[in-house]
Amino acid sequence: MGRTALLERALASAEAEGYEIVRFEAPGGPTGVAARIPETNGRRLLLVVDDAHLSDHATLLTLRDLCRRGAGTLLVTTAPAGTVPQPDPADSLRFEPHRRNVHVPPLSLDEVTTLLADVIGGHVRHATAEALHAASGGNPALLHELIGACDLGLHFVRRNNLWEFREVSTWIGGGTRGSLALLSKAATRAWYELSLERAHELCKAAVWCGAGEMVAPVLAHLLLLHGRAEDALVFLDSLPTGTVETTPHLALAKAMALAFGLGEPAAAEEFLLKAALLRGPRPGGRYLAYRSWIQALTGRGSDGSEGIGSLDRDDRETAMFVHAARATAPTGADPQQAVFHLRRALALGTGGADAGPPWLAPYITACLIDALLLAGRSGEATFLASDFHGGEQSSGWDVAVAISMLTGNGRANVTGGVEAA
């Protein structure tokens, strides 16, 4: 199924045998189009263009003119409406007389789910089907490549009567297929949309296809959010030498796993300090901000802000962690000061890769609600919590709870504070 497959099936039909078929590749210029029309010897002419939206405008005008003069019948495929940057050259053909349009939409999520159930031999977990639908965009050819060429069909396991991708524990490299970029892009998009289950399934699929390093930061943080710090460390330690130390979000994941998962904050601080020295003054500042935040959460810094006053604050993520560190320690003693720093952090977290990992803004929001309650500003806390804790999709509430449980943060009781609000 698909536009090209439908075109080929039409050309292989008995009806097409009565035509003289001439194919035109897209993109291609109009030069010599008319000259390519063969002697038909009384047979009807069929002009065929696959992916006509890639053709230049002059080519399509020439082909349209041939059809208008009765020189032949034009059979084309184009991308779905809304997927091609405007103007689309194929628009010149949309309202021709006697035109017949056949709409072949991408596979829907339900169709992908049904198809996977038939291929795998049982019901597939919703997040798994959602992951493959997101990576393929519902394109049957891409879906076939993911399941077939990448051998993803070999990496399904059954859990709770539903099929999903097998868990991964180590990095797997060597993938070269174009589908790896699709999986990596879809995983990153799901991660920043806080669609954690879909992102996790996409990460597993990417690793099994050989794109482990491309999705490593996302997978490491997802393992932490699921309370699997030891598994996160095993995966991080399997990455190529130097990868974790030179990739900020990987370094943060390892430090969090050490400090909060294994209860070794000193080891986490030492690791981040060494990594900062390797990166130099400017990029190293982010590592020092991570370190101060962990110190504040574990009570190892005198005021939660030791050594961070002179950090480069032009980097939004660094600034967010600096404010989070300064807000954490004084919450109990000076909640008004904590509110100031947390609001400053949220003002910086407007989204995007340069605003920190996507769990950071929801976590800071939860801490801000707690700080507002402690400051006696219950009206503001209730207003802030109404959408955040109201079950809004992708609000980040579940992420904030997961991070709070991971860090064991007794200084800011995230879950209790928001429930009270």
- Helix ranges (DSSP H) in 329-359: 335-348
Residue 81's pLDDT is: 66
Cross-strand pairs, 159 = 162
What does pTM read for this prediction? 0.80
CA distance 2 to 6: 6
Question: Distance between CA atoms of 378 and 386, rounded to whole angstroms?
Answer: 12
Q: Spell out the long-range contacts of 245-250 with Cβ–Cβ below 8 A and sequence spacing 24 or more.
A: 245/274, 245/275, 245/278, 246/275, 246/278, 246/279, 247/216, 247/217, 248/283, 248/286, 248/287, 248/290, 248/317, 249/217, 249/220, 249/221, 249/357, 250/216, 250/217, 250/220
Rounded Cα distance, 117 and 353, in Å: 35
CA diameter of the chain:
94
Half-sphere exposure of 303 (CA within 13 A, CB side): 11
Cα–Cα dist 405/26, whole Å: 55
How would you class 56 by CB atoms within 10 Å of its CB: exposed for 0-12, middle for 13-18, buried for 19 or more? middle
Checking if the pLDDT of 154 tops 70, the result is yes
pLDDT band at 309 (very low <50, low <70, confident <90, very high): low
Residue 129 CA to residue 27 CA, distance in Å, equals 34
pLDDT band at 187 (very low <50, low <70, confident <90, very high): very high
Mean pLDDT over residues 386-399, rounded?
Answer: 70
List the Cα angle 243/247/249 in 5-degree steps.
125
Query: Distance between CA 257 and CA 241 in Å, rounded?
Result: 18
Q: Angle at which helices 378-388 and 360-374 pack, to 10 degrees? A: 150
Neighbours of 409 (CB within 10 A): 21
Residue 262 phi, psi dihedral angles, 5° rounding: -100, -5
Least confident of 21-35, 59-73, 101-115, 277-291: 21-35
Give the lowest-confidence range in 35-49, 105-119, 132-146, 268-282: 35-49
Q: Is the pLDDT of residue 420 over 70?
A: no
Contact 342, 304 (CB under 8 A): no
Q: So what's the pLDDT on residue 419?
A: 46
Q: How confident is the model at residue 38 (pLDDT cuts 50, 70, 90)?
A: low
Taking only Cα atoms into account, the Rg of the chain, rounded to an integer number of angstroms, comes to 28
pLDDT for 94 beyond 90: no
Give the confidence band of 125 by pLDDT, cuts at 50, 70, 90: very high
pLDDT at 268: 95
Torsional class of 311: left (φ above 0), alpha (ψ -120 to 50), beta (otherwise): beta
Checking if the pLDDT of 14 tops 50, the result is: yes
Closest residue by Cα to residue 352 from 187, 244, 214, 191? 191
Q: Which of 67-76, 95-104, 315-324, 411-420 has the lowest mean pLDDT?
A: 411-420
pLDDT value, residue 211: 81
Average pLDDT, the chain: 82
The percent of residues above 70 in pLDDT, for the chain, comes to: 82
State residue 415's pLDDT score.
Answer: 42
Token code pair at residue 240: 């190529």
- Which domains does the chain carry? 3-93 (3.40.50.300), 106-228 (no CATH), 278-407 (no CATH)
Q: Is the pLDDT of residue 272 over 50?
A: yes
Cα–Cα dist 273/291, whole Å: 7
Confidence band of 87 (pLDDT split at 50, 70, 90): confident
Report residue 253 as tokens.
């994941």
Higher per-residue pLDDT: 74 or 339 = 339
Whether pLDDT at 80 is above 80? no
- CA–centroid distance for 268 within its chain: 28
Q: Is the pLDDT of residue 84 over 60?
A: yes
**Confidence check: pLDDT of 413 > 60:** no
Tell me what pLDDT residue 225 has.
93
Instruction: Burial-class residue 291 by CB neighbours within 10 Å (0-12, 13-18, 19+).
Output: buried
Query: Residues 48-72: pLDDT tens digits?
Result: 888 888 887 777 887 788 778 777 7
3-state helix, strand, coil in the chain (%, to 5): 60, 5, 35
Q: What is the mean predicted confidence (pLDDT) over 340-357?
A: 80
pLDDT at 140 over 80: yes
Query: What's the token pair of residue 137?
Result: 């965009």
Each residue of 243-267: pLDDT tens digit?
Answer: 999 999 999 999 999 999 999 999 9
Helix (H) or strand (E) holding 76: strand 73-76
Helix (H/G/I), strand (E/B), else coil: 158: strand
Q: In this structure, are strands 156-159 and 162-165 parallel, antiparallel, or unpaired?
A: antiparallel
